[in-house]
């Protein structure tokens, strides 16, 4: 019977790879790899000679459909891998998983390494709840908007970043998330593994002082429990109080404009009073039309 195994691979240290994961690739009919060259090196080390086919971000939708059809027709067992870590977690693979599920093909995980979870485990933050965001937008404007969204929605957030953009990211975090704490990990499980902890400005200083900062992928864990959060924007909607006050003042002979001015001068919220007046004006217009 056809089956898809989603197999996590090492993120650096080959000793982290489980015997079960190696056996799964060895016994599969085919390996669907993000990059056959990268998975090929791993297979060479462990003496695995299973045929491979590429399944990466740029072809996974069409390749996933084709491969799932082939799996169903030929009862193939396929092992899905990415270059490092767990497939489908900020890595390709979900297209093939989806195609298999649509055809009733069983999908089974072979768990193992995941950079996000590894970084969380050494952050020192309360990680009973966290939100994973992966890579954020590159454009500064979009990045700032996303960080503001994260600040409003999350208590602990996990982000991936390129070594060439990590300084810019930490700098913008310092501007948009005052009070945040960071745990920034690089080269997890590798020889030069490094984790920097502190406020954004402290972590940025450490990055600036590190001549090798632009090597290795980064995983950031953000603790936002002490961060300054912006006040939610006030909705420009009229409550029953403002609507009733405007109506009463108009009944007493004031124009809509004068009623608005009086209420604002008395301390009522300008936007709410304006919306109440507009609603009342619309009501008057509908009444005249009906008459």
Q: In angstroms, rounded to a whole number, what is the distance separating the alpha carbons of residues 261 and 28?
A: 77
Question: Nearest Cα to 119, choosing from 132, 110, 136, 106?
Answer: 132
User: Which has the minimum average pLDDT: 85-89, 104-108, 217-221, 265-269?
Assistant: 265-269
Strand partners, 156: 223
Residue 291: predicted pLDDT: 53
Phi-psi region of 55 (alpha: psi -120 to 50; beta: other; left: phi over 0): beta
**Residue 62: per-residue pLDDT:** 86
Provide the 8-state DSSP code for 16.
Answer: G
- pLDDT tens readout for residues 4-30: 999 999 999 999 999 999 999 999 999
The yes-or-no verdict on residue 196 having pLDDT over 70 is: yes
Residue 236: predicted pLDDT: 44
CB 67 within 8 A of CB 56: no
Could you tell me if residue 47 is left (phi over 0), alpha (psi between -120 and 50 degrees) or otherwise beta? left
pLDDT at 239: 58
Give how far Cα 112 sits from Cα of 101, 116, 282, 286, Å: 22, 12, 62, 66
* CB distance 56 to 49 below 8 Å: no
**pLDDT-based confidence at residue 290 (cuts at 50, 70, 90):** low
* CA nearest to 122, candidates 10, 214, 29, 221: 221
CA distance linking residue 143 with residue 43, whole number of Å: 38
What are phi and psi for residue 107, nearest 5 degrees?
-125, 125
Q: Which pLDDT tens digit goes with each residue over 71-111?
A: 999 999 999 999 999 999 999 999 999 999 999 999 999 99
The pTM of the full predicted model, rounded to 2 decimals, is: 0.75
pLDDT at 159: 97
Considering the domain delimited by 3-113, tell me its CATH architecture: 3-Layer(aba) Sandwich (3.40)
Measure the CA–CA gap between 218 and 206, rounded to whole angstroms: 14
How much is the pLDDT for 289? 57
Mean pLDDT of the chain: 90
Which CATH topology does 116-223 take?
3.30.950
Residues of the chain above pLDDT 90, percent: 71
Instruction: Specify the pLDDT at position 235.
Output: 46
Domain boundaries, the chain: 3-113, 116-223, 240-290
What is the rounded distance in angstroms from the CA atom of residue 280 to the CA atom of residue 248? Answer: 11
Residues 243, 252 contacting (CB under 8 angstroms): no
Check if the beta carbon of residue 3 is closer than 8 Å to that of residue 110: no
């Amino acid at each position: 019977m056809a089956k898809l195994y989603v197999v996590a691979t090492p993120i650096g240290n080959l000793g982290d790879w489980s015997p079960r994961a190696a056996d799964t690739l060895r016994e599969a009919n085919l390996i669907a790899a993000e990059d056959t060259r990268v998975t090929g090196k791993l297979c060479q080390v462990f003496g695995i000679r299973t045929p491979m086919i590429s399944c990466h971000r740029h072809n996974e939708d069409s390749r996933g459909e084709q491969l799932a059809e082939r799996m169903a027709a030929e009862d193939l067992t396929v092992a899905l891998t990415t270059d490092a870590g767990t497939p489908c977690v900020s890595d390709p693979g979900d297209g093939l998983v989806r195609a298999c599920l649509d055809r009733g093909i069983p999908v089974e995980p072979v768990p193992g390494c995941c950079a996000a979870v590894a970084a969380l485990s050494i952050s020192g933050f309360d990680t009973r709840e966290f939100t994973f965001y992966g890579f954020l937008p590159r454009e500064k404007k979009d990045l700032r908007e996303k960080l503001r969204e994260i600040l409003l929605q999350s208590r602990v957030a996990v982000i991936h970043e390129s070594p060439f953009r990590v300084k810019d990211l930490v700098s913008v975090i310092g501007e948009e998330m005052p009070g945040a704490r960071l745990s920034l990990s690089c080269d997890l499980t590798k020889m030069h593994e490094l984790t920097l902890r502190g406020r954004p400005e402290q972590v940025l200083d450490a990055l600036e002082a590190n001549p090798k900062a632009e090597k290795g992928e980064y995983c950031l864990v953000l603790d936002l429990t002490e961060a300054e959060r912006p006040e939610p924007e006030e909705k420009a909607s009229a409550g029953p109080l403002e609507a009733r006050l405007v109506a009463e003042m108009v009944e007493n002979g004031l124009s809509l404009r004068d009623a608005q001015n009086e209420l604002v001068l008395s301390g009522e919220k300008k936007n709410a009073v304006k919306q109440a007046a507009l609603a009342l004006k619309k009501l008057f217009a509908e009444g005249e039309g009906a008459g």
